[in-house]
Every structure is written in C-alpha cells, then in structure tokens.
Amino acid sequence: MAELKERTFIAIKPDGVQRGIIGEIIKRFETKGFKLVGMKMLQASENLLMDHYADLKDRPFFPTLINYMSSGPVVAMVWEGKGAVKTGRVMLGETNPADSKPGTIRGDFCIDVGKNIVHGSDSVESANKEISLWFKPDELMTYTSCAFSWLY
C-alpha cells in the first residue's frame, strides 16, 4: 500500500506563472485531496536548475531548458498524500502535451513540449532529492488536515 505521507515535488514553470494559472493547478491538487506542505515563488538560479536537471545535462536541449526555467518566476510546491508521486504524474499528463489526455494539466493548458507548464517528480527517490534541493527542512509544514478522515 502506498505511504499516506508520501511527498512529491511539483513546480509551476515560468510559462504557467506568466499565464496566470497557478491557482488552477493548486486547485486540482487540493481538490484531489493532497495536502500542501510547502510552497514558495522564486527566480530559480542557474546552479539550482543545473542540480535539478543534472540527469539531462548531456541532452541537446539542456541549455534551452535551463534558459527557459530561468526566464521567470517558478512556484515550487511539496504535496503530500497516498501515492502522491504517481498520481501527481497522472494529473500532469505526458511530458509532451500532444500526448496528454484532456483533463490532465498539460492536456488542458498547453500545446508545445518546450512550454509544458509544470514539473512533477517521477519517483519517490527523485521527489526526495528535488524537495531537498528546493526547500530547507524548516520550510515544510507538518500538520493534520481536517479532511484527512474523509479521504482515508
């Protein structure tokens, strides 16, 4: 059974921020029943982005990706709940919006893979690494949501 306190890292990329759909993305995670335990808006530094995307450093699109992600503010979030990583990825849709189903964030809000609005951790291990890159431990909240007993 998936851990009830599993955490995932979700980031609204600069195009999502600029298009004014931060609230819509947050609403989808809240409506699903996940608990927001950390959130901040920041201009991601090149060093942070290089660490975050280190596994892609040899790919030809890497410089474009770093440029895109540093082009404006990002909203970094940590969501908690049963199956948060896997379910979060399903909610986002495929990396290429053309392959995303309607009803997913990318399926509903984007067209081009180079401007795909949101990042989500692809495994629990990645989530833990990404959360520690973007958040200090004291920036994450521990609390019991009043909806907990209605979800689990």
Q: What percent of the chain has pLDDT over 90?
A: 97
pLDDT at 47 over 80: yes
Annotated binding site for ATP: 13, 61, 89, 95, 106, 116
**In this predicted model, what pLDDT tens digit does every residue of 57-68 receive, in sequence order?**
999 999 999 999
Residue 13 CB burial class (10 angstroms; 0-12, 13-18, ≥19): buried
Positions annotated as catalytic residues are: 119
pLDDT at 1 over 60: no
Contacts 24+ apart (CB under 8 A), 140-143: 140/37, 140/38, 140/78, 141/37, 141/38, 142/37, 143/35, 143/37
Q: Residue 25: count other Cβ atoms within 10 Å of its Cβ.
A: 20
Annotated binding site: 13, 61, 89, 95, 106, 116
Q: How confident is the model at residue 18 (pLDDT cuts 50, 70, 90)?
A: very high
Specify the pLDDT at position 61.
Answer: 94
Characterise 63 by phi-psi region: left (phi > 0), alpha (psi -120 to 50), beta (else): alpha
Q: What is the pTM of this model?
A: 0.95
Mean predicted confidence (pLDDT) in 78-87: 98
Domains and CATH numbers, the chain: 2-140 (3.30.70.141)
pLDDT at 78 over 60: yes
